[in-house]
Amino acid sequence: MKEGKKKKPETSIGESISALGAFFVYLITGLFLAVGFWVVRDKYSVDLISDPSLTLRLLWMIEFPIVVIIFSLFRSNPKKCSYFRAVGRSIVGLISGAIINALGAVSLGAPVGMQSLPKTVHWSFLMSVFTVVPATAVFGASWTNWHRVFASLKPTGNIEYMILIPAYGAIIGGWFGAWPMPLDWERPWQEWPICVCYGAIGGYIVGQLVSLSLMIFLRKHKNLKLA
């Protein structure tokens, strides 16, 4: 019964974006990630290895607005929830998501010393932009949606694929990115959180590609069904 109630507004969102639209969304977010790296390198002449905390800060500060702007367009229940409210709640989502990510990282073994605190903070903001922010912009505080998408892994509609799969991609990528850290190669990128960042960004992009192909595949599937 509950499910039935929820279904209506969601299907209306799902229709609001096509695979092509998703592709453009990904293109823009990817572009801004690249812009972030470009700004860091050309304007501040640092990189992830030489100054991780500054780089990460610039990255999430550039990436965050664009993610919010795009995903707020696809907010669920757009009649009741204004665009600005969606933007506002995604700021809350950014902070709480960062806290969750930071706690997760610490429990997995991220350094907790004072000198690595800024790195951890900015890393978790970036992770939050990848994982939590799109979902808050779209779902808001609707726990059932969160639960259905993230815990039960039952997304419906393209926008939910766009939220779910890159987020999991970023987390799994970050998890694998942590593996080279203990090796004694003594490379500067083995420091926390550099390779985890690379892993997360890589996983995020892979997640985008996977979700894109999934969308295309599902649409074809649907068309076949319809036919």
Partner 1 sequence: METYLKNKKLIAIGFLLIHSIAILIFTRGFLLTRTELPFHSTCSDVSLSPCLTSPPPSNHDSNPDSISSHSNHTCWTKPVVDRVIIIVLDALRIDFVAPSAFFPEPKPWMDKLTILQKLAFANESSAKIFKAFADPPTTSLQRLKGLTTGGLPTFIDVGNSFGAPAIVEDNFINQLVQNGKRLVMMGDDTWTQLFPNQFQKSYPFPSFNVKDLDTVDNGCTEHLFPTLYEDDWDVLIAHFLGVDHAGHIFGVDSSPMINKLEQYNSVLEKVISILESHAGPGGLHENTMLIVMGDHGQTLNGDHGGGTAEEVETSMFAMSTKKHTTSVPPEFDTSSCKQNSDGKQICISSIEQLDFAATLSALLGISSPFGSIGHVNPELYALGSSNWDLEKSESGNFGTQSAVKEWMKNYVNVLCVNAWQVKRYIDVYSNSSVVGFSSDDMARISDLYAAAEQNWTNSVKHLLMDRNGDENNTNRSAFKEQIAAYLNFFSSVVELARSKWTEFNLNLMITGFGILVISLIIQFLVVFHGDKSYAVGFWLSTGAAFTLFLVTIRACSFLSNSYILEEGKVANFLLATTGLIKLRYSVMKKTMRKEAVIFLAIASVLRVSIDIGLTKQAATSQFMSSSPSWILGIALDLPALTYAIEIAPIVSVVILICVLYIAIAKTPSEGMWNEGMWKYVTVGSMISYFLIALLWASESKIFGLDGLLQVIGGRNRIPQTVYAIGLVQLFLLASARMFCAGEKKYWATRTVALVSACSSPVILLSGKQGSLLALAYLLAGYCIMRLEGVERITKLDRQNKLSKLNPLCVMQWSLLSICMFFASGHWCAFDGLRYGAAFVGFDEFVLIRQAILLTIETFGFSIILSVFGLPILLPIHSQTPQAHSQKRHQLFQMYMLFGVISATTVTATILCVTIQRRHLMVWGLFAPKFVFDVVGLILTDLLICLASAYYF
Tell me how crowded residue 109 is: count the other CB atoms within 10 A of its CB: 11
Nearest-approach distance from CB 183 to partner 1, in angstroms: 5
Amino acid (1-letter code) at residue 51? D
Q: Which is nearer to partner 1, 125 or 150 (CB)?
A: 150
Instruction: Please tell me the distance from the alpha carbon of residue 13 to that of residue 9, in angstroms, as a whole number.
Output: 7
Nearest-approach distance from CB 109 to partner 1, in angstroms: 5
Q: Which is nearer to partner 1, 37 or 198 (CB)?
A: 198
Q: Which is nearer to partner 1, 34 or 108 (CB)?
A: 108
Q: Which is nearer to partner 1, 81 or 191 (CB)?
A: 191
Instruction: Please tell me the distance from the alpha carbon of residue 67 to that of residue 87, in angstroms, as a whole number.
Output: 10
Nearest-approach distance from CB 1 to partner 1, in angstroms: 17
Instruction: Please tell me the distance from the alpha carbon of residue 96 to that of residue 19, in angstroms, as a whole number.
Output: 30
Q: Which is nearer to partner 1, 49 or 108 (CB)?
A: 108
- Residue 46 phi, psi dihedral angles, 5° rounding: -130, 175
Nearest-approach distance from CB 156 to partner 1, in angstroms: 16
Instruction: Please tell me the distance from the alpha carbon of residue 91 to that of residue 78, in angstroms, as a whole number.
Output: 18
Structure tokens at 203: 């996983």
Task: Render 132-171 in DSSP notation, one character per residue.
Answer: THHHHHHHTT-HHHHIIIIIS----SHHHHHHHHHHHHHH
Nearest-approach distance from CB 38 to partner 1, in angstroms: 32
Rule CB under 8 A: which residues touch partner 1? 103-104, 106-109, 111-114, 116, 147, 150-152, 175, 178, 182-184
